Structure 1
Amino acid sequence: MKRRPPVLATLVVLLAVAAMIGLGIWQLQRKTWKEAMLARFAAADAIPAPLVIAGADLPQDAGFRHIRWSCPQTSADQVVGGTNAAGQSGWAHVVLCIHRSGDAATLLPVVLGWSMSVAPVQWTGGVLTGIAVPGIKSGVVLPEASALSRNLDWHIVADPPLAGLAANARPDLHDIPNNHFAYAIQWFCFAATALVIYLLALRKR
């Protein structure tokens, strides 16, 4: 007599397989979104004229744009690992630009430039041109956000460099990971493996 598959176990496996397939489809959707974002960044990077920005906030379409922006006040220099325009390893010098409105402050990291020395440099602010990059510069320490302190999820790489420093490496679109297709394949493989293992287990009952 042929035994029926256990209902509860079968339901659990099918739900797990469906969830893994759903995650794979979601990763494919993320791949499409990431490719569109990278295409926008590439188009923005090709625009030579700087985008003039007034105030603290950067618009959403500023990613990889050359911008002209005012930094009225700065923090002390932070020194983090970096490379110069020739690919040589050394130190990137970063300050936090501070825009104040009453008691509230908005902070945004600016990479002033690069050097072989960890000795801090002085730059007290002013109008700068550079490339706006989404995300905080790796290694930079920001104060904890609060009702009176807001950290923008951007950083600017000064171009030309400031404070007598050498040019930092230009932001590279290839540094932005786009591995969603590989993740999707992994989830589909997990789903197929789970289904095959369960079918083999049923055959041995």
Structure 2
Amino acid sequence: MKLPLVPTIIVTVAIAVMIALGVWQLQRKAEKEALLDRYERAIDLPTIAWPETPDTDLLYRRATGFCIEPTSWRATAGQNREGEVGWQHIAACRAGGGEGPGMQAVMGWSRSPESPGGWEGGEVSGIITLDADHGLRLVSEDPAPGLAAVARPSAADIPNNHLLYAIQWFFFALAAGVIYVLALRRRLRG
């Protein structure tokens, strides 16, 4: 039996690529585990001042910043410390000398997305987390008046799905090989 050259090359290359992607996902799994471990240890490091420029190396560190005044509020979905779903309220603050990116401070939780009133700024102590729009945010340990405490950020909430992705790629490679062998057998019978 003579194998068809072009289809065999295409399937072989595809299987090799899928296996390489599976191996890459296994490497990513190890990298992600190291990153999550670093985040878990960060909570025990000494408290730092709110950084003037966003630095993801500071994620999950305890920090203290000063909100000169909230310039605006926004609400995003979130949970309180009891696990209830609602809205976390984030104040965009003028910080430091009033220059630079300022500070995004999660000041509490409520059932309503309506902006809270009454908090006019001050010292904020909490944990640094990612903010999709602004790089970093500070999740306040103590809520602003009229709000409940937000669920404490935890690196344990970050998924590490790389093992599942690797299994998928290896399965796809196996499936491609089985399908190709079945196609060759059918061709032989014909």
* Superposition TM-score tier, normalisation by shorter sequence: 0.7 to 0.9
User: What's the RMSD between the two structures over aligned residues?
Assistant: 2.4
Question: Are 1:31 and 2:7 matched, yes or no?
Answer: no
Match of 2:57 in 1: 61
The answer to whether the Cα contact below 8 Å between 1:113 and 1:168 also exists between their aligned partners in 2 is yes
TM-score norm. by structure 1 comes to 0.80
Q: 2: CA distance between counterparts of 1:126 and 1:7?
A: 72
The answer to whether the Cα contact below 8 Å between 1:13 and 1:195 also exists between their aligned partners in 2 is yes
SS of corresponding position for 1:34: helix
Q: Which amino acid aligns with 1:50?
A: T
Question: Are 1:115 and 2:110 matched, yes or no?
Answer: yes
Q: 1: CA distance between counterparts of 2:17 and 2:147?
A: 52
The aligned length equals 186
Match of 1:167 in 2: 149
Going by fraction, where is helix more abundant, 1 or 2?
Answer: 2
Q: 1:95 to 1:178 in 2, by over 3 A?
A: same
Match of 1:189 in 2: 171
Q: 1:201 to 1:116 in 2, by over 3 A?
A: closer
The answer to whether the Cα contact below 8 Å between 1:161 and 1:167 also exists between their aligned partners in 2 is yes
Q: 2: CA distance between counterparts of 1:196 and 1:25?
A: 20
Match of 1:139 in 2: none
Work out the percentage of aligned pairs sharing the same amino acid: 40
Deviations 1:175-198 (A, max 9, x none): 211110000000001001101111
Question: Are 1:202 and 2:184 matched, yes or no?
Answer: yes
- 5 Å-filtered alignment, 1:38-187, equals 38-47=36-45, 49-53=46-50, 55-98=51-94, 105-106=100-101, 108-122=103-117, 123-136=119-132, 142=133, 151=134, 153-187=135-169
Q: Which amino acid aligns with 2:144?
A: L
Q: 2: CA distance between counterparts of 1:107 and 1:69?
A: 10
TM-score norm. by structure 2 comes to 0.85
Q: 1:80 to 1:134 in 2, by over 3 A?
A: closer
Structure 1 residue runs without a partner (length 5+): 137-141, 143-150
Q: 1: CA distance between counterparts of 2:94 and 2:29?
A: 35
Q: Which amino acid aligns with 1:12?
A: I
Q: Which amino acid aligns with 2:20?
A: G
